[in-house]
Amino acid sequence: MDINLIPDIYVPSVDTSGNYIDSKPIIKNGIKCPCSNRTKVFDILSKFTTHMKTKRHQKWIEELNNNKLNYYTECLKNNETIENQKRIIAKMDIELKNKSLTIDYLTNELVSKNTTSITNTEKPLLDLRYI
């Protein structure tokens, strides 16, 4: 069995002023940088360090710093969405359990009625087979 390891996603550090800055990551399974849409995986630190000096990467860091407030607002909205989805999932889980209990109860009722009232020509509903 072949196991494929998923590369990490690069996340820049934050300095004391709250600005995003590049930092050298620890590369275990490779690393992808979100500054481009390419599927390039950097497997050694020297290649990634060279990548961090490119114009594309520098522009990405600059955009992160220029849009800090937007990212914060987006994070708040995402947290609210996650909480709402947790509530929806919990509600649906309760409904699913109730429906499962109902199905189990009705199945038991059906089986008990069919087994107590079987004549020679009747067959239980659950014993019917598709032809």
Q: Is the pLDDT of residue 115 over 80?
A: no
Same domain, 93 and 61: no
Same domain, 52 and 30: yes
Better-scored residue on pLDDT, 18 or 77: 77
Better-scored residue on pLDDT, 87 or 38: 87
Q: 122 pLDDT band (50/70/90 cuts)?
A: low
CA distance 55 to 32: 17
Tell me whether residue 124 is in a domain.
no
Dihedral, CA of residue 16, residue 22, residue 27 and residue 33, to nearest 10: 130
* Model pTM score: 0.60
> What percentage of residues in the chain have a pLDDT greater than 70?
85
Give the model confidence (pLDDT) of 28-77 as tens digits: 999 999 998 778 999 999 999 999 999 999 999 999 999 988 988 999 99
Same domain, 37 and 74: no
Q: Is the pLDDT of residue 130 over 80?
A: no
- Which domain, by its residues, includes 98? 67-117
Same domain, 3 and 18: yes
Same domain, 110 and 84: yes
Same domain, 61 and 90: no
Pairing outcome for strands 8-9 and 31-32: parallel
Rounded average pLDDT over 79-102: 98
Better-scored residue on pLDDT, 127 or 113: 113
